[in-house]
Structure 1
Amino acid sequence: MPPTVQDVADWWATAVSRVEPDVIELRGRPVQEIIGGMSFVAVIWLLLRGEPPTPAQEKLLEVALVSSVDHGPHAPSIAVARIAATCGIGLNNAVASAVNTLGDVHGGAGEQCMRMLAEVAARAETGEPVERAASSVVAKWRARSRYLPGYGHRFHTVDPRRDPLLRHVEEAVADGTVAGGYLRAAVAVEQILATGRARPVPINVDGCTAVIYGELGFAPPLARGLFVLSRSVGILAHAWEETGQGRRNKGPIPPSITPTYLPGSGHALET
């Protein structure tokens, strides 16, 4: 039997939006009520979760999104955006080029940290002391890689975003907005990493936002998706700024500096 019109309609069945002549609804809510009635952050929650957030949930999501918008041209995504903007392409292409660099290494730590903290929190929920759960999970993750997602920073001794973000989570726990399992797990991991070290390894912005997204009930892959939404703001701002500076074909280093030549090696220098 050939496909029917209904078969085609069902192929694209969605609960996210309804768009028909003279009708636009987002999760069943008329767009004319949403415009001016909900913040952008609340709409993000609505589309991802199906229901609008409470004011306290909206506030906590907002601080996480704000914290990750930019980290300067040292961040590969920002550098790529600025380079791409000088190559004769549009802003959308520059933004897309930059977003496409956000992978497991750059941009994925939040998702990875959220998965790690979820393991700690789940074990703690069974009655295991959170410190012991954290120690076991950290050992397992360290067996895979010497890098622990969400902790430490190559620039900051203490990430300046750590304290305000965790303070907002603590307030949300105190008023009953979130349960606090991810926060307790994150602090326990941080304490383990500080043991026996002259210089601690504090939680960074990826870890803090992982705590927030976990406390708010988002699935781990959305930690990366939400980071992409957040970082896109900085990407756009840098790409736009670069278009006004008059450079063409901007490379990663000034033309006066030439890369180190490694004759016959083909291997990069150790860093």
Structure 2
Amino acid sequence: MTDSLAADWWGTAVSRIEPNVVELRGTPVQELIGTIGFGAMIWLLLRGERPSPEQAALLEAALVAGVDHGPHAPSIAVARMAATCGIGLNNAMASAINTLGDSHGGAGQECVLLLDEIRERAAAGEPLPEAADAVTAEWRARGVRYLPGFGHRFHTRDPRRDPLVALVDRAVAAGVVDGAHLRAALAVETALNRGRSTPVPMNIDGATAIIYAELGFPAPLARGLFVLSRSVGILAHAWEETGQGRRNKGPIPPAIRPTYLG
């Protein structure tokens, strides 16, 4: 393979790295250091353009909201267990991040897809309540037991829902986002709670899915952005665990013996 072919093989618009040159999306890194926030930096690398301050603030709010949910979350539990196994901080983080799959970490991506379907039907002229009812019924008919982004096994009302929804409300009023995904999510919440005595409110995955979708991120990036967010909590828990001196920490206390089922 010639040098030219090899260069084209690894061609990228994300960064240019040469002797004494580091450019990120066409901007010298020295112009970014100290002048751009981390959320805006994520946006720049993913999208190739800088967000407005209002867009960056909304993205950062979603990233902040998802950083941690304690050892109840498998990713955090794995981070802490792995950190006691002598594998190093980077390996503990990788082990934890690798648990963020469809069941744990993927609901935001699925929720964006759900909201996209409702938004498209509403944009085609179907009344929003009917669109929400129809799409949720179709998802349930496909065997989806829990609609992604709604309900929580731990919280009767996720404390992260209201502040995130309020921020999107304000962003809609300010013209930062158009609000179509917010309206779709609220329509789903209304549909799910119709006739119920025990509410099924939106959860963190639903609230952040609204933000990522309103900001124009494709559904797969809702999962990727969640992974970035949760990595902060994973790092904090892994680091804390390394300082506590435990070795080979298992998923249950040593005094408990698992029930033998043989």
Q: TM-score range by the shorter chain?
A: over 0.9
- Residue of structure 1 in register with 2:253 after alignment: 254
Three-state SS of the structure 2 residue aligned to 1:18 is strand
Indicate the residue corresponding to 2:12 in structure 1.
Answer: 14
Deviation (angstroms), 1:159: 0.3
Partner of 2:230: 231
Amino acid at match of 1:152: G
Q: How many angstroms apart in 1 are the aligned matches of 2:130 and 2:34?
A: 48
TM-score after normalising by structure 1: 0.96
Q: Which residue of 1 aligns with 2:160?
A: 161
User: CA–CA distance in 2 between the matches of 1:224 and 1:47?
Assistant: 16
> Is 1:194 the equivalent of 2:193?
yes
Supply the distance in 1 between the matched residues of 2:67 and 2:260 (Cα, whole angstroms).
36
Q: Among the aligned pairs, what percent are the same residue? A: 70
Q: Describe the SS at the equivalent of 1:155.
A: coil
Aligned to 2:35: 37
Q: 1:268 is matched with which residue? A: none
| Superposed counterparts of 1:44-55, under 5 Å | 44-55=42-53
Match of residue 67 from structure 1: 65
Pick from 2, 5, 8 the counterpart of residue 4 of structure 1.
2
Structure 1 residues 149-188: aligned runs within 5 Å? 149-188=148-187
Deviation at 1:222, TM superposition (A): 0.2
Letter in 1 for 2:14: V
Alpha-carbon RMSD: 0.5
SS at 1:98's partner residue? helix
Give the partner amino acid of 1:207: G
Aligned mates of 1:94, 1:249 — CA distance in 2: 12
Alignment partner, residue 83 of structure 2: 85
Q: State the secondary structure of the residue aligned to 2:91.
A: helix
Shift of 1:142: 1.0
Q: Distance in 1 between matches of 2:147 and 2:126?
A: 22
Take 1:174 and 1:124, find their aligned partners in 2: how far apart are those partners? Answer: 20
Gaps of 5+ in 2: none
Q: How many residues align?
A: 261
Instruction: Give 1:29 deviation, angstroms.
Output: 0.3
Task: Map residues 92-111 of structure 1 onto 2, 5 A cutoff.
Answer: 92-111=90-109
1:237 deviates by 0.2
1:153 maps to a residue whose letter is H
Gaps of at least 5 residues in structure 1 are 264-271
User: What is the alpha-carbon distance in structure 2 between the residues aligned to residue 26 and residue 61 of structure 1?
Assistant: 20
Counterpart CA distance in 2 for 1:90 and 1:73 is 19
After TM superposition, give the deviation of residue 228 of structure 1 in Å. Answer: 0.2
| Aligned equivalents of 1:35, 1:235: Cα separation in 2 | 25
Q: Measure how far apart 1:85 and its partner are.
A: 0.1
Partner of 2:22 in structure 1? 24
Structure 2 counterparts to residues 203-214 of structure 1, below 5 A: 203-214=202-213
1 CA distance for matches of 2:196 and 2:259? 36
**Cα deviation code 1:165-213 (max 9, x no counterpart):** 0000000000000000000000000000001100111100000000000
